[in-house]
Amino acid sequence: MNTTISIQMEKISKIYSTKDIETHALTQIDLTINKGDFISISGPSGCGKSTLLSILGLLDSPTQGSYIIEGEDVSQLSVDSRAHIRNQKIGFVFQSFNLIDELSVYENVALPLRYREPEISESDINKAVSLALKNVDMAHRMTHKPNQLSGGQQQRIAIARALVGEPAILLVDEPTGNLDSQNGDAVMRLLKSLNRAGTTICMVTHDPRYAEFAEKRLHLLDGVISQSGFSNKLVQEVG
């Protein structure tokens, strides 16, 4: 196994079939993500961004093609095996935070670890949650409930929850969509600094300014990668 590759997709296609129509959402996508990459995916509405992210995140499986995560072929798994590997290897951050309002910040972040097998001890959960919250600068809000926090703070908690289990990749869907520009910029700076510290990130965004944070940028058009660009320059800090 090549230890620098996190994710390798070859000729991934996705066709949604309903009674009368077939939608070719993705056609023969090749995508390699190396450890430490920061990749952005942009493109117009309906071009296949969410479909690609759900296949990357093992929420859905491709119609055709091969998909390998950290050396393991996950192209055609049962729903149960997919859920198991998703819990071990994938961290998700959504536009809408998706935190549980009844749980404290601490318990929200601990949640992915509570589904792990074999079971993780309470003291190891405590260490991991404390570190994850420290990494997003939210250790001082452990006992708060999500609705007692600003949108930007809630997104930081969602990022801590996504990273607490040390996933192979962080998948991020429009992370700033529900934030004002100041909080959006702060979340993007956090993602950039997490990436510099080693986190592998794949982010969907329609905002060209935020796509600039990624060093590899993909553009999708009608389910096909129409353009990809690399940038080695250091991204200017926004704000």
- Sites of contact with ligand ADP (CB under 6 A): 16, 23, 25, 43, 45-51
| Minimum distance from residue 184 beta carbon to ligand ADP (Å) | 19
Q: Quick check: 172 and 191 in contact, CB under 8 A?
A: yes
| Minimum distance from residue 10 beta carbon to ligand ADP (Å) | 19
Q: Which CB sits closer to ligand ADP, 3 or 45?
A: 45
Helix (H) or strand (E) holding 135: helix 122-135
What the block records as the tokens of 4 is 């620098």
- Residue 71 touches which member of ligand ADP, Mg ion, none, C-beta under 5-8 Å by kind: none
Q: Which CB sits closer to ligand ADP, 17 or 147?
A: 17
Name the residue among 75, 68, 73, 163 with its Cα closest to residue 112.
163
Instruction: Indicate the SS3 state at residue 54.
Output: helix
Q: Which CB sits closer to Mg ion, 49 or 156?
A: 49
| Minimum distance from residue 121 beta carbon to Mg ion (Å) | 39
- Residue 23 touches which member of ligand ADP, Mg ion, none, C-beta under 5-8 Å by kind: ligand ADP
Q: Which residues are CB-neighbours of 17 under 8 A, at least 6 positions away?
A: 23
- Residue 46 touches which member of ligand ADP, Mg ion, none, C-beta under 5-8 Å by kind: ligand ADP
Whole-number Å distance between alpha carbons of 224 and 201: 21
Name the residue among 192, 140, 199 with its Cα closest to residue 164.
199
DSSP single-letter state for residue 125: H
Question: Which residues from 16-75 bind Mg ion, rule CB under 5 A?
Answer: 49-50
- Residue 47 touches which member of Mg ion, ligand ADP, none, C-beta under 5-8 Å by kind: ligand ADP
| Minimum distance from residue 21 beta carbon to ligand ADP (Å) | 8
φ, ψ at 4 (rounded to 5°):
-90, -10
Please report, as ranges, the residues that interact with Mg ion according to CB under 5 A. 49-50
